[in-house]
Amino acid sequence: MKKLNLAIIGQGRSGKLIHGAYYVSERNQYYNVKYVVDRDENRRKVASEMYEGCETLCDYQELFDKKDVDLVVNAATSEYHYSITKDLLEHKFNVLVEKPFARSRYECGVLIETAKRNGVLLSVFQQTFFAPFYLESMALAESGKLGKIEQVSIRYNGFARRWDWQTLQKKVAGGIYNTGPHPIGIGMAFLGFDQNIRVEYSKLAVTEKCSGDSDDFAKIILSAPGKPVVDIEISATDAYVDYNLKLHGHKGTFKCTPNAYKMKYLIDGENPKQDLVEGSMANDLGNPCYCSEKLVSHEEEGKYDGTAFDIGTAGIYEDIYFAITEGKKLTITPEMVAQLIGIIEEVHARNPLPLKYL
């Protein structure tokens, strides 16, 4: 199998600790790291040691005269996702851009059109769609084991503080731009990326724990005709959350983290339907009583082998490899992610936050 030559822009947390960790792992059967771009001299030095045989560059525009690059990964900070990606596409490079895809749905549309016009591949690093917990929970919902799903609850919560650039609006940062593409994307997937998805309710807040001016609390409720209600939280104020994803079905409930799951459910025929009692209920002694029974139920629990950071990252890179080499359609298209960004944009428009840092 021929390996593709890859260039990566940025060796920060994502570029080094997520993308880079994949490049040097046994899971990487598809790519040679040919070029690493970073303005920081020390990061370039570390990269030259980390990726054997790579060439390090200070400016991404130095890639423009390189003819041996099959894919460029844009892992620069979020405010440069749009401008750098557009420049790369105009120079006819295949591009994988980190999330968030861009600031607005309009910017996403420009990038999609630019890629099509130049005949190159554009993809977005939404690796959670390849994570075991997501894939297995989606399969469970579609299996009917829990019956009709009425609600999907997604919690990407914690109890922590940040004081870096990811707290600044001017950096296209904050909770729903940084973390949000994962839970919002999952929620939209359970709605089938329906074009009629609506934001039924939203709230953003900057809590006292945040050092910047962008959101670290978000509540978003999505709906689509004939689909479950999707209830999303992205919060730095929740000290007791015990799940990331919960499915509320007619026959049972499922909850999971990226590492493990539990579910409790009923099996058809084991609990015959009770006859309706229209009047007051009484027990054998004639005293008033409440509906009470012991349902025959079943419980399961287990663990997942891998997370979005290892299995998910490997999955998205494999998906892109076969899109480039065999023309296969991407599992997660840029059009799907553009719709996601449209939701984030709408939530910000409905909940404007004071801009304190220009």
Radius of gyration over every alpha carbon of the chain, rounded to an integer in angstroms: 23
Q: Tens digit of pLDDT per residue, the chain (358 long)? A: 899 999 999 999 999 999 999 999 999 999 999 999 999 999 999 999 999 999 999 999 999 999 999 999 999 999 999 999 999 999 999 999 999 999 999 999 999 999 999 999 999 999 999 999 999 999 999 999 999 999 999 999 999 999 999 999 999 999 999 999 999 999 999 999 999 999 999 999 999 888 999 999 999 999 999 999 999 999 999 999 999 999 999 999 999 999 999 999 999 999 999 999 888 888 888 888 888 889 999 999 999 999 999 999 999 999 999 999 999 999 999 999 999 999 999 999 999 999 999 8
Which residue carries 């005293």 as its tokens? 287
**60 phi, psi to nearest 5 deg:** -65, -25
d(CA 40, CA 50): 15
pLDDT the model gives residue 209: 85
Task: For residue 241, give the 3-state DSSP assignment.
Answer: coil
DSSP string for residues in 44-93: HHHHHHHSTT-EEESSGGGGGG-S--SEEEE-S-GGGHHHHHHHHHHTT-
Domains of the chain (ranges, CATH numbers): 4-125+310-332 (3.40.50.720), 130-308+341-350 (3.30.360.10)
DSSP string for residues in 276-336: P--S--B-TTS-B---------EEEEEE-S--IIIIIHHHHHHHHHHHHHH-PPPSS-HHH
Helix or strand (DSSP H, E) at 148: none
Helix or strand (DSSP H, E) at 356: none
